[in-house]
Structure 1
Amino acid sequence: MKIDAPRGSAMLGLGHFQPEKVLTNRDIEELVDTNDEWIQSRTGIRERHIAGEGEDTTTMAVAAARMALADAGLSDVDLVIVASTTSEARSPNGAARVSSELGFTGPAVIDINTACSGFEYALALADQSISAGVAETALVIGSETLSRITDWTDRATCVLTADGAGAVVLGASAVKHVSPVVWGSVPELADAVVVKGEPPIFSQNGRSVMRWALTSSVKDAERVLERAGVSMDQIDVLAFHQANLRIIEPLAKGLGATDRHIVLTDVEVSGNTSAASVPMALSKAWHAGELPRGAKALLFGFGGGFTYAGQVVDLPA
């Protein structure tokens, strides 16, 4: 539907992809000095998916995109934004590769690298572009192959990382279905989560990240609700970055979540997939029939940079 002067955007479709290969906690016991009980007690993770031969950030992004486009009933878009820290090349960027693989007719193509908050940043830019009238439809993807930047001898990080992709399609709407974003950074934690070296390797100061998440994330998520003009009573779904179950649970509790709220905990079976974690968790639950049509979801991501971002969105009606 063409909107001459769109006021906002609406989510039209969702998609996701995960590699077939599953790495369980028992498998990780064979790699480092750890055990299933230790991993679950500290992260909530039981297993994660790992990319195999011929699978990478782009191929997973394309697979998730195809699913989202089919869900939306579209075959082309005006704008493609890919959020990732693991793109295969600096140029062409991931969004250009995805556009080419999907046979699009020439959309604007942008990559975002704000690590684990990347999807929320990308969604905000897509919504703003549509609201400004410079795009009518947008494909927003979070895709990561973290297994290829993981030190598999470091038990503090290798128990966390995983691979996958999630995507959403946005379209112009006369009614706002994506709220204004709340985003920002924490400069003093800029080096708390890093990917560097040759070859690049992921590392983090887990204690600093956990301390921020347990002391500051609630107030920032509350700012998202305030900017959206809604209360927790109006929220149906809580979709936080799937970093650690021991962060997700206190964040939900701190916001006043009740048994009525659907709190996504895909981290248990998918691990930490950085920018892919929120859209993948949403799409998996959506296509499993676990989320009501038109449900109002609070999205909130945080991670390397140190960055955070969130917004309230309505799922497809």
Structure 2
Amino acid sequence: MPTHDTRKVAVLAGIGAWLPPRVVDNDELSRRLDTSDEWIRTRTGIGERHVVDPGMSTVDMAVEAGARALRSAGSAEIDAVVLATATPDQVCPASAPQVASGLGLGSVAAFDVNAVCSGFVYALATAAGLIAADVARGVLLIGADAFTTLLDPADRSTVPIFGDGAGAVVLHAGEAGQDGAVGPFDLHSDGELSELLIVPAGGSRMKRSTNPADHCFSMRGPAVFRHATARMAESSRAVLDRAGWTIADVDRFIGHQANIRILQATAKQLGLPADSLVVNIERTGNTSAASIPLAMADAAADGTLQQGDRVLLSAFGAGLTWGSTVLRWPDVIPG
């Protein structure tokens, strides 16, 4: 006798975003680095980025974005806070409990997920797992990074690329097939290539270094480009197959906003039309774990995302880590 599938899935019920007030455009960078607006735009698609002022932290940004997502979701009950970040306020403790406290959520479960630029997709899978396991009926998931605090201010290869910001979503328990239902997921890693994107010092292997560069983020751009496009395309195909979707079913592709050329190359490998790409990197830069929810919030606010749209999400980041998921866009208004 057939049985009804009563498993709960994570359903997107609210969304919010926040960017630091300080804007640094390419002309400002050009006055202190050997670069130009044309050079940056041609290679990255970035025109400006938001940067934290001294004293502003990842927790501060996460609280702002989280409050907006909660407002968007209305009366959603929250049992857990998951913070995707590579720039916690301290090495210890995790920053998520401080975010939960800052939002007045009481003694809910709260923890960090660090998969760097893949962090939001990894944390989304984690939050979905909490809901599927009936550990939580409502989860506030925030991607937030003050990534500019990891950069060498004189490094023209990284400073023009990154910005700071936070994006958040509220997830609640729902049924598979309804608008907003998230999943399936496809997640991967390759630790043998961890040195392609790395901050060498500050952890247990090298707590301190006499070389200041060891405390700053570095990346091998050409190799990252090759791996990012290939891995995001592979992962996207895998998750579409699991979802029973074809490329033609995808209405919007929201990839990690790392570089416009990576996004375009990935879409081309997948055979997606250029107008399916959701892109906001021109005014945000690469905001690491915040990039996908920031792009989603912008696209929801300007009408690019419409209820019922089939959306493909894919990300690639340090670790190496990468992953993808899908959802059908719900009727939500950013808070």
- Give the TM-score band, short-chain normalised: over 0.9
Could you state the TM-score of these two structures normalised by the residue count of structure 1? 0.94
| Residue aligning to 2:103 | 102
| Residue aligning to 1:229 | 244
Structure 1 position 5, deviation (Å): 5.1
The alignment partner of 2:283 has SS state of helix
Match status 1:246 vs 2:250: no
Any conservation in 2 of the 1:5–1:133 contact (CA below 8 Å)?
no
- Aligned pair partner of 2:312 in 298, 301, 304: 298
| Residue aligning to 2:329 | 315
Structure 1 position 118, deviation (Å): 0.4
Q: How many angstroms apart in 2 are the aligned matches of 1:216 and 1:80?
A: 29
| Residue aligning to 1:275 | 289
Q: How many angstroms apart in 1 are the aligned matches of 2:255 and 2:185?
A: 14
Change (3 A) 1:137 1:49: same
Segment of structure 1 superposing worse, 150-159 or 292-301: 292-301
| Residue aligning to 1:178 | 182
Unaligned 5+ runs, structure 2: 202-207
Unaligned 5+ runs, structure 1: none
Q: How many angstroms apart in 1 are the aligned matches of 2:9 and 2:129?
A: 8
Q: After superposition, what is the alpha-carbon deviation per residue over 1:141-189, rounded to whole angstroms, capped at 9, x for unaligned?
A: 1000011111111111111111000000000002251112100112332
Change (3 A) 1:130 1:69: same
Structure 2 counterparts to residues 1-317 of structure 1, below 5 A? 6-74=7-75, 76-176=77-177, 177-197=181-201, 198=208, 200-258=215-273, 261=276, 263-317=277-331
Structure 1 position 268, deviation (Å): 1.3
Change (3 A) 1:51 1:44: same
Aligned residues: 313
Change (3 A) 1:74 1:191: farther
Taking only the aligned residue pairs, the percentage that are identical comes to 39
Structure 1 position 75, deviation (Å): 5.9
The alignment partner of 2:126 has SS state of helix
The alignment partner of 1:175 has SS state of coil
Q: How many angstroms apart in 2 are the aligned matches of 1:259 and 1:187?
A: 32
Q: Where do 4+ consecutive residues of structure 1 move more than 6 Å?
A: none
Q: How many angstroms apart in 2 are the aligned matches of 1:50 and 1:23?
A: 7
Q: How many angstroms apart in 2 are the aligned matches of 1:299 and 1:75?
A: 24
The alignment partner of 2:183 has SS state of coil
| Amino acid corresponding to residue 253 of structure 1 in structure 2 | K
Structure 1 position 92, deviation (Å): 3.1
Structure 1 position 53, deviation (Å): 4.1
The alignment partner of 2:158 has SS state of helix
The alignment partner of 1:151 has SS state of coil
The alignment partner of 2:198 has SS state of strand
Q: After superposition, what is the alpha-carbon deviation per residue over 1:207-236, rounded to whole angstroms, capped at 9, x for unaligned?
A: 110121233431222112112221122222
Structure 1 position 31, deviation (Å): 1.7
| Amino acid corresponding to residue 13 of structure 1 in structure 2 | G
Q: After superposition, what is the alpha-carbon deviation per residue over 1:28-60, rounded to whole angstroms, capped at 9, x for unaligned?
A: 111211111111111111111111244210111
| Amino acid corresponding to residue 119 of structure 2 in structure 1 | G
Structure 1 position 6, deviation (Å): 4.0
Any conservation in 2 of the 1:45–1:269 contact (CA below 8 Å)?
yes
| Amino acid corresponding to residue 91 of structure 2 in structure 1 | R
Segment of structure 1 superposing worse, 14-23 or 170-179: 170-179
Segment of structure 1 superposing worse, 114-123 or 71-80: 71-80
Any conservation in 2 of the 1:236–1:260 contact (CA below 8 Å)?
no
Segment of structure 1 superposing worse, 152-161 or 191-200: 191-200
Could you state the TM-score of these two structures normalised by the residue count of structure 2? 0.89
Q: How many angstroms apart in 2 are the aligned matches of 1:103 and 1:5?
A: 32
Change (3 A) 1:260 1:284: closer
The alignment partner of 1:180 has SS state of strand
